[in-house]
Amino acid sequence: MEMTRREMLVKSGKFILLTSAAAAAWDYVLAGKAEAAPNYDMTKHWWAMVIDPEKCIGCGNCVRACETENDVPEGYFRTWIERYHVDDWDMEHPQVDSPNGGHDGFPEKYHDGGKTFFVPKMCNHCADSPCTQVCPVGATFITPDGVVLIDPKYCLGCRYCIQACPYGCRFFNPKTNTADKCTLCYHRITQGLTTACCEACPTQARVLADLKNPKDPIHAFLRTHSVQVLKPQMATHAKVFYKNLDGSVR
Amino acid sequence: MGTLLHGVEGYMYPNEVELQWSVLIVLYPYITGLVAGAFILASLERVFKVEAVKPTYRLALLVALAFLLVAPLPLQLHLGHPERSFEMYLTPHRSSAMAMFGFVYLWYLMIVLLMEIWLDYRKNIVEWAETGTGLKRWIYRILTLGSRNVSAAALRVDDRVGYFITLIGVPSAFLLHGYVGFIFGSIKANPWWSTPLMPVVFIFSAMVSGIAAVLLLYMLTSKLRRTPIDMRCVDTIGRYLLYTFVIDFSLEMLDLVHRLYEADESLRALDFMVHTRLFFSQVILQIFIGTLLPIALLGLTQIVKLSEGARKAIYVAAGSVTMISIFAMRWNVVIGGQLFSKSFLGYTSYKMAFATREGLLPAIILVLLPFLILYVLVKLLPPWPKREAAV
């Protein structure tokens, strides 16, 4: 069959248009529906967390709750607890341990001299996060409500972000072959719940806070207490605030 | 401190125990360094009119190409999702130094290296397309890209354009490798990496390794082809190797002295690491055997009048330990930067597997692969006059 140039162009135009429409439709089917959070407006929140090391008893409830809630692979941690032991004359050289991330609590170790305390750790959801800066494809990003997330369907698994995090909060998830970290239980907080770790903490050593909510008690707390972030010299605008943090903590 | 458990000493943040970047990421800067260094040596002849190194000009370009073709492979093998790597081209994240990789690589491969090689060989390719037989004839016909004009005027244009490409090729080679240094140097979380000197040190060490590689390959191919080694050429290359090595070593020492004098919070941890886990690879291999020894040997050729045989032996020895030294330097940067905790309270170990995806075996294959590619390239595009090509 003879085909004029015009017919050929029209036909190929239709072909290209229709196949892309079909591809778009297929993508739509595959993507499914976003998890509904009908009453949630991400522009109205700016999430943070307050941690009080003096209240932490090192029970490991938060680590276990996080593991269960988020399917964290064994040996990796979205949150963990450190035990510090500091001799009164040697603040520069604390002894630190975190057996299995504090998952199973801490066996007695220090009996005399110095001070011993627990420090829960997690992603600091930095406002100027070095991890999102270095991602080559933007698979990790800061949400408008201030949470640092990773898109596991987009992450290349290059692990540059893990290197860039000053706090050791990221790990390479061997199940997904992508970078992984605390999501601040985004699936929960957008539904009006608190994070799994906060919910499981028996002493309220960690409390979720919304800096954009004028009624959140965090404002009064920040005004009336001495607070510190980890490694302030990194200038990452970390949003996990520690109450009366000891100078030996790093 | 002092408790040894699973290769961990002191305290590491729990997610830090496992190293993220393996021997494959050591190979990546090593290979791109060879590319940049070989290209810069080639440009000596073309741009800086150092006529003595002419016998290595084409060989250096082919070496650069062979290694450049392999450069992305260790990265691909390392990625958790290599099938997504193309996203770097489609949706590059502008604030990421790594996102530049694809573009710098493509620029260097397509615009600089392939163009320069093609322009330089074009006259020969047209010749071979006419005189060749069988499959080779077809390959050369395709390589002409349809351009058979080898008139004097056309060749003059080739030469001008080639010169211009080499001119932009030199900063491009700096970019290709300087940017790899920037990837490490810009990580403020890691004091072992974080220094603005890193890209500069990477560039000079790249030149050192590239020059040494071409020097060795030139001497080896001359031996295989049973043609005499052009002593004026190797003497000149040896001299440039010495100069760049001295600059490279001075920069690294500047970095060291600066760290020691400034003595910030990380010094104690890094100093301990250099004296223990990195002692062999850094102090013994990189500094003493890999740097001071070749500098002394090459320096000797400048001070004392030595026989041809002695000079050749020195170039082979100095070139060989240089190759080891620069590999050790990449190792100490990449692996060393992950052996200490960002809490500065502990150390972990790197356990290299053998026949795994990121193990020693794929690393060895990736080191040998460029030589195989180079063999094919040399057969296809002989870098020396044809009558000598027949061994």
pLDDT tens digits, one per residue of B251-289: 999 999 999 999 999 999 999 999 999 999 999 999 999
- Mean pLDDT confidence for B114-123: 96
**Domain presence at residue B110:** yes
Residue B14 near residue A80, CB atoms below 8 Å: yes
**Domain presence at residue B250:** yes
The alpha helices in A45-159, defined as continuous H runs, are: 61-70, 130-134
**Domain presence at residue B3:** no
Q: What is the pLDDT of residue A7?
A: 73
Whether A163 and chain B come into contact, CB under 8 Å, resolves to yes
- Mean pLDDT confidence for B220-237: 96
Residue B2 has pLDDT above 50, yes or no: no
**Domain presence at residue B252:** yes
Q: What is the pLDDT of residue A113?
A: 84
Q: What is the pLDDT of residue B6?
A: 66
On the 0-12 / 13-18 / 19+ scale of CB atoms within 10 A, A162 is: buried
CA distance B195 to chain A (A): 14
Query: In sequence order, what E strands does A47-202 have?
Result: 47-51, 79-86, 95-97, 115-122, 140-142, 148-150, 171-173, 178-180
pLDDT tens digits, one per residue of A160-195: 999 999 999 999 999 999 999 999 999 999 999 999
**Domain presence at residue B347:** no
Residue B87 near residue A137, CB atoms below 8 Å: yes
Please tell me which residue of chain B has the smallest CA distance to A248.
B343
**Domain presence at residue B29:** yes
Q: How many CB atoms lie within 10 A of CB B166?
A: 25
> B13: which residues sit within 8 A by CB, 6+ positions away?
A80, A98, A121, A167, A168, B341, B342, B343
Contact list in A for residue B99 (CB cut-off 8 A) is 136-137
Q: How many beta-carbon pairs under 8 angstroms link A with B?
A: 120
Which residues are A227's β-sheet partners?
A243
Report which DSSP code applies to B51.
G
CA distance B307 to chain A (A): 51
User: What's the number of domains chain B is made of?
Assistant: 1
Q: What is the pLDDT of residue A39?
A: 85
Please give the span between the terminal C-alpha atoms of chain B, in angstroms, as a whole number.
62
Q: What is the pLDDT of residue A136?
A: 97
Whether A178 and chain B come into contact, CB under 8 Å, resolves to yes
pLDDT tens digits, one per residue of B332-357: 999 999 999 999 999 999 999 999 99
Nearest to B48 by CA among B218, B177, B240: B240
- Mean pLDDT confidence for A203-210: 98
**Domain presence at residue B158:** yes
User: Could you tell me what percent of chain B has a pLDDT over 90?
Assistant: 94
The pLDDT mean for chain B works out to 94
Residue B215 near residue B237, CB atoms below 8 Å: yes
**Domain presence at residue B280:** yes
Q: Which domain holds residue B24?
A: 20-334+352-389
Do residue B87 and residue A169 have CB atoms under 8 angstroms apart? no
ipTM (interface pTM): 0.94
Do residue A138 and residue B101 have CB atoms under 8 angstroms apart? no
Contact list in B for residue A97 (CB cut-off 8 A) is 11
Do residue A136 and residue B344 have CB atoms under 8 angstroms apart? no
Please, which pLDDT band fits residue A33 given cuts at 50, 70 and 90? Answer: low
The alpha helices in B132-151, defined as continuous H runs, are: 134-143
What is the pTM for the complete model shown?
Answer: 0.92
